[in-house]
Amino acid sequence: MNIASLSAQFRTWWRKQTPHRQDRFALLGPIVSVLLFLIVILASFAYLRLEEIDREQESIKRDVEYAQQNLRLRLLDRQEKFQRLARDIASNDINNDSFIAQAEDLISKHPELHAVSWIDNKQKVIATYTVASAINTQIRREGDKLNQRESASGYALVKDSSGPVYAHTITTDNAGVLPILQVFVPIQDHGRFAGLILGEYSIEGLLRFGVPSEINTKYAVTLINGKNSVLAGSAITPRYSITAALKLSRTPYEYQLPVSPVGNDLLLRAQGYRTSLGLVGSALFWLAAALSVLTVWMLFATWRHTRKRQFAQQALIRETNFRRAMENSMLTGMRALDLTGKITYVNPAFCQMTGWSEEELVGCTAPFPYWPKNDHALLNEQLRIQLSGQSPASGFQFKVSRKDGGQFDARMYVSPLIDDKGVQTGWMTSTTDITEPNRIRHQLLESQDRFITVLESMDASVSVAPLGRTDLLFANKLYRSWFGADTVGHMRLIAEAGIPLREQVEESGDDVDSLAGLPYSQINTDSSNQFELFCADLNKWLEIRSRYITWVDGRLAQMVIATDITQRRNAEMQEALQVERAQSASRLITMGEMASSVAHELNQPLTAINIYCNGIVTRIKDQQISENEIISTLEKTSKQAQRAAQIIQRIRTFVKRSAPNRNLSNIYLMVESARELADIEMRRRNVHLHFYVAARLPKLFVDPILIEQVLINLLKNAAESVDNARRTPSNRRVELRVAPMTEESRVGVEFSVIDTGSGIPPDVMARLYESFFSTKAEGMGMGLSLCRSIVESHAGRIKAENIYNGELITGCRFSFWLPLPTESELKTEQLNPA
């Protein structure tokens, strides 16, 4: 395939492309060429930079090896001198003073040496010399022993190896932390370990005097340990760079070698200073890159400008079509007037609204065809106001006449018409048909009139006032007749009823509601509060109900409804009086039913008193009684009299009519009083009474006399049931249990009366608490009804159930529970103690 055929194929393919795609390909060619040129430049600079990195790396490697060799020779030379000194010590050629003199000579000739010490085989310092400038915590004195760390790290190794051992440690001087290199040279006396020579190098001194100065100048040279911690010298901190991120350079160049004969625990590292600007710092690179970017940007800007013009033309067409479609779909009539009042434009909605076509309306001047004939004067005045630019923001309301003769209500809004140069060329009006809204508004006004009529005729006082203000939003006729037309009565009802008020916000100086922004949806959904109070000024009992509402203008308001409940309260008082009388009568009836038992109970102490008195009289007449016997007999007579008086007092307290008096009452005392009275009936019917009262029961806020009445009625009924069932003597028993109860949401004290009678038939169980229903021939049917009323008046519940043994009824269980006192009842008892 030759070039001519390829060219022909390309032309054929090019002609098949759309103009839009041809523009894109025409722009793409120069951009690709510039990008390829930039890539070639980058590749060239990268290659040159890599060559430079290799050269620098090779140079630093040679220099580090040279410096490491210098350090090795220097350490070996000092080591040889320490070994010579150790041989002299082993052959006893030198003493302590000679050792110190030779050590001082070594240190003065070799400034990297820090200290030289002679240590025997017991780790005791024989002689030592330390440079005067090394005043630190590690100075050894004659007679001192090596510390534990030196002994563990060096002494043991040199003793075992019988050869020189190197180790480095960290000590502290006046200047701070001081790394030390220690060399342990053994002293061999005829093959026996006789001690060692300890030489201490300053690692900083080794670096300063052991590394050639030209290498120190050229690189950042450091001595590091096996963990890469710097012991001497200062390292270069690597910094992030683009070339380093692209792996085109290493910042800094570095190379490291272990220092012999120390080993891998001491390494010499050199880091090269960066002397070249690198790829990114090259001015030639930036110049080429800038020119390439500029060329690409100019090509792209030219193409973009062309595209913008095409897009602007297409957007203009779309916007025109969109606005036309929007105007045609609007229900609001649009009309344009020039500055003289001539119609220049109407939309289809305006034509459909009036019935006149666009051709009939455009070009018309006042009076317009859709003006009613009778309103020309008014509409001309409105047109004059429109053309003068004084139209109100709320618009105009007027009548519009259709072409078919019909009319409708319309509202017109006016705004200036501005051209592209900012000059006003006329007025644009929008017209809306408001016939239906007007009809709805009239219906709402009529509905409001009906609603106000209903409120005015109510037999309850209704008032609404905003929170934080003193004006009255609404008050019906009864409120005005009771309290007048201000908020004094409204606030008085709230205060006397003790209705909790919402937290008020201080009144602001503007017309904005001071409570604006509060969560009305949560406030006005609260349940209404209901209270009862006596209004002395009106001599009436009022039931007060309050609720927070959102007023028609959005403000938070409080509505108070006061209803006259004087007649109901009087009826309730009469009913309470009748109930009290019924309870008193029931107690009298109970005592009447127990009269024979009470008489029998009183007869025993009275008979005993009579016998004691007759006996005393007889023995006095016969002069057969001593003074002590008289006293003993009189004491027995007194006890019987007290027993009779106690029985009478119990009965008198039980049947005495008194006003209801609730207080914190002791449960054990109430049960004991009821047991003493009921025990009379139990003994008469030969029924055994067992009772159990749980320990540490709380006090109850009750009327003790009424609770005793309930217990006595239940115990008496239980005794009668056992007696009527004709049980055997061993099975004639009644049990009274009092214990705490926690069941579901009820927490209180439960009283239970359990008998061994014949139980309650199912037909009787359904009517058990019905008034005037009784299964006894002489019964009135008020006992259990009153018991339930008393228990429920104390917020308790009473129930009855049969006790079964298989299918056989073996007894009955009556139980009632009373709740524990509330916090308000406890506070009442504290304020009004019995």
pLDDT digits (tens, 9 = 90+) for 238-249: 665 555 555 444
C-alpha span between 480 and 472 (Å, rounded): 11
C-alpha span between 284 and 451 (Å, rounded): 91
Query: What pLDDT does residue 525 have?
Result: 45
Residue whose C-alpha is closest to residue 727's, from 747, 746, 750, 755? 755
Query: In this predicted model, which residue has the larger pLDDT, 175 or 663?
Result: 663
Q: Is the pLDDT of residue 185 over 80?
A: yes
Average pLDDT over residues 446-454: 86
Least confident segment among 335-344, 395-404, 532-541, 603-612: 603-612
> In which band, very low, low, confident or very high, does the pLDDT at 668 lie, cut at 50, 70 and 90?
very high
pTM: 0.35
Least confident segment among 35-39, 495-499, 503-507: 503-507
C-alpha span between 187 and 1 (Å, rounded): 92
C-alpha span between 133 and 574 (Å, rounded): 115
> In which band, very low, low, confident or very high, does the pLDDT at 289 lie, cut at 50, 70 and 90?
confident
Structure tokens belonging to residue 182: 């220690």
Query: In this predicted model, which residue has the larger pLDDT, 299 or 805?
Result: 805
C-alpha span between 466 and 557 (Å, rounded): 4
3-state helix, strand, coil in the chain (%, to 5): 50, 25, 30
Q: Is the pLDDT of residue 516 over 90?
A: no
Residue whose C-alpha is closest to residue 712's, from 683, 675, 666? 675
413, β-bridge pairs: 430
User: In three state form, how does the secondary structure of 489-509 look?
Assistant: HHHHHHHHHCCCCCCCCCCCC
CB-based burial of residue 107 (10 Å sphere; 0-12 exposed, 13-18 middle, 19+ buried)?
A: buried
Structure tokens belonging to residue 440: 């709805």
Query: What pLDDT does residue 514 have?
Result: 47
For residues 338 and 426, the answer to whether their CB atoms sit within 8 Å is yes
At 333-391, the pLDDT tens digits run 889 999 888 999 888 888 988 888 988 889 998 889 889 988 888 888 888 888 888 88
β-strand 540-550 against 253-259: which pairing, if any? unpaired
C-alpha span between 148 and 155 (Å, rounded): 10
CB-based burial of residue 389 (10 Å sphere; 0-12 exposed, 13-18 middle, 19+ buried)?
A: exposed
Query: What pLDDT does residue 270 have?
Result: 87
Query: What pLDDT does residue 170 have?
Result: 65
For the stretch 82-87, contacts whose Cβ atoms lie closer than 8 Å and that sit 24 or more positions apart, written own/partner, are 82/116, 82/164, 82/183, 82/185, 82/197, 82/199, 83/164, 83/185, 85/185, 85/197, 86/185, 86/186, 86/187, 86/188, 86/196, 86/197
C-alpha span between 412 and 402 (Å, rounded): 16
> In which band, very low, low, confident or very high, does the pLDDT at 44 lie, cut at 50, 70 and 90?
confident
H or E stretch including 714? helix 704-725
Structure tokens belonging to residue 186: 């053994």
Query: What pLDDT does residue 750 have?
Result: 93
At 735-794, the pLDDT tens digits run 999 999 887 677 899 999 999 998 888 888 878 877 666 766 555 556 787 788 888 888
Query: In this predicted model, which residue has the larger pLDDT, 428 or 677?
Result: 428
Query: What pLDDT does residue 734 have?
Result: 93
Structure tokens belonging to residue 318: 């779309």
Residue whose C-alpha is closest to residue 77's, from 209, 265, 222? 209
Query: What pLDDT does residue 282 have?
Result: 62
C-alpha span between 782 and 770 (Å, rounded): 8
Name the average pLDDT for the chain: 79
> In which band, very low, low, confident or very high, does the pLDDT at 812 lie, cut at 50, 70 and 90?
very high
β-strand 263-272 against 333-338: which pairing, if any? unpaired
For residues 749 and 738, the answer to whether their CB atoms sit within 8 Å is yes
Query: What is the secondary structure of 558-611 as a DSSP string?
Result: EEEEEEE-HHHHHHHHHHHHHHHHHHHHHHHHHHHHTHHHHHHHHHHHHHHHHH
At 388-415, the pLDDT tens digits run 888 888 888 888 998 888 888 898 899 9
Structure tokens belonging to residue 439: 């009809």
For residues 598 and 591, the answer to whether their CB atoms sit within 8 Å is yes
β-strand 253-259 against 230-232: which pairing, if any? unpaired
Residue 52 has φ and ψ, to the nearest 5°, of -65, -40
CA 580 from centroid of its chain's CA atoms: 54
Q: Is the pLDDT of residue 502 over 80?
A: no
What 3-state class would DSSP assign to 68?
A: helix
Query: What pLDDT does residue 588 have?
Result: 61
Query: What pLDDT does residue 707 have?
Result: 87
C-alpha span between 367 and 363 (Å, rounded): 12
H or E stretch including 625? none
Which residue shows structure tokens 């220092």? 259
CB-based burial of residue 544 (10 Å sphere; 0-12 exposed, 13-18 middle, 19+ buried)?
A: buried
For the stretch 356-363, contacts whose Cβ atoms lie closer than 8 Å and that sit 24 or more positions apart, written own/partner, are 356/403, 361/335
Query: What pLDDT does residue 800 have?
Result: 92
Half-sphere exposure (CA, 13 Å, Cβ side) for 185? Answer: 22
C-alpha span between 497 and 534 (Å, rounded): 10
Q: Is the pLDDT of residue 833 over 70?
A: no
Query: What pLDDT does residue 776 have?
Result: 67
> In which band, very low, low, confident or very high, does the pLDDT at 644 lie, cut at 50, 70 and 90?
low
For residues 464 and 474, the answer to whether their CB atoms sit within 8 Å is yes
> Is the C-alpha dihedral spanning 90, 94, 100, 102 positive or negative?
negative
Query: In this predicted model, which residue has the larger pLDDT, 136 or 403?
Result: 403
Query: What pLDDT does residue 684 have?
Result: 81
Residue whose C-alpha is closest to residue 400's, from 379, 377, 430, 416? 379
For residues 456 and 557, the answer to whether their CB atoms sit within 8 Å is no
- What angle in degrees, to the nearest 10, is found between the helix axes of 783-793 and 566-593? 130
